[in-house]
Amino acid sequence: MPISSPAESANQPLRDAVAIVTGGASGIGRATCQALARVGARVVVADLAQTQIDVVLADLKAEPRGDHLGLAVDVRSEADIQRLVEQTLDRFGRIDILVACAGILRGDGGTLKPLAQLATPEWDQVIDTNLRGLFLCNRAVLPAMIRQRRGDIINLSSVSGRQGRAHDAPYCASKFGVIGLSESLAAEVQQFGVRVQTVLPDAVNTAFWQQNGPVPMPPHSLPPERVADLILFMLALPPDTQILAPVIAPLQVRRRGVGKAAKNDPAG
């Protein structure tokens, strides 16, 4: 059962909020889009493939509010992110929420490997997507949120953003960077009524895991809806409250290996 969220109370604090979700066509992002739509938010589904976005939009039409938007964007592209923000403002007139879920585990064809064997393009693709992309999205929504004197940003990091792991330097570095960026930004913009929080998922059962190749999914992994429930809970907190970088993990916590053992325990 989903955890009880303040958003499901009679006050409905997220009703009519305008929420951009990057990586919104799959995994945690898709589950978050669905959760937001269920409580009456107006959702902007942002992802790479319009065909996948359209599938999510079709699902959202069954929810209480059918006024949603889907846009194909590459989070690495400054122009794409600017277009995302402009079209959201043109359609809805405001931006209340950003949930930055877009991310990858490896570069194209990449595998777990020692840093000495890592090709520069493999490094660049992960950092550009997970850290530069998140930076571009955060920066782009800030003018609207500061002007409104209100906004919520949830950035997705990982348990690999708190504990480094052998053979996975690009992903770990990107997720450590997400935490640092988020903490720095939170201190900058709280004076304007903008709240920045970070979520650190571990072992979530999504297609994201397929980037680990033949390594099997941990048997007690969480469904993405559990992370979406937590995100909704954090968004619906009173404006004077925050949760500091919570880790959400299966009750039966897997052992995170180091060295050679890490090859059998990829990032979550």
pLDDT in tens, 10-57: 337 899 999 999 999 999 999 999 999 999 999 999 999 999 999 999
What values do phi and psi take at 72, rounded to 5? -85, 120
CA–CA distance, 54 with 178 (Å, rounded to integer):
29
Look at residue 1 and tell me whether its pLDDT is greater than 80. no
As beta bridge partners, residue 194 has 151
Let me know if residue 111 belongs to a domain.
yes
pLDDT in the model for residue 219: 73
Kindly report the CA angle at 182 between 116 and 73, in degrees rounded to 5? 80
Give the residue numbers marked as catalytic.
171
Taking residues 209-228, what's their average pLDDT?
77
DSSP letter for 236, please.
T
CA–CA distance, 140 with 136 (Å, rounded to integer):
6
The count of domains in the chain is 1
Let me know if residue 216 belongs to a domain.
yes
Let me know if residue 27 belongs to a domain.
yes
Look at residue 128 and tell me whether its pLDDT is greater than 70. yes
What residues contact residue 119 under an 8 Å CB cut-off, 6+ apart?
Answer: 107
Kind and range of the H or E element at 20? strand 18-22
What is the domain-level CATH number for residue 153?
3.40.50.720
Let me know if residue 52 belongs to a domain.
yes
Q: Where are the beta strands (DSSP E) in 104-236?
A: 151-156, 194-201
Let me know if residue 98 belongs to a domain.
yes
What residues contact residue 250 under an 8 Å CB cut-off, 6+ apart?
Answer: 202, 203, 218, 220, 221, 222
* Structural domain boundaries, residue 208: 11-264
Backbone conformation region of residue 6, classed left if phi is above 0, alpha if psi is from -120 to 50, else beta: alpha
- Residue range 147-206, pLDDT digits in tens: 999 999 999 999 999 999 899 999 999 999 999 999 999 999 999 999 999 999 988 877
Assess contact for 167 and 213: CB atoms under 8 A. Answer: no
Assess contact for 99 and 75: CB atoms under 8 A. Answer: no
Look at residue 253 and tell me whether its pLDDT is greater than 70. no
pTM, rounded to two decimals: 0.89
Let me know if residue 5 belongs to a domain.
no
CA–CA distance, 133 with 119 (Å, rounded to integer):
20
Q: Which of 123, 161, 153, 150 is nearest to 135 (CA)?
A: 153
Let me know if residue 23 belongs to a domain.
yes
Kindly report the CA angle at 59 between 54 and 65, in degrees rounded to 5? 105
Let me know if residue 2 belongs to a domain.
no
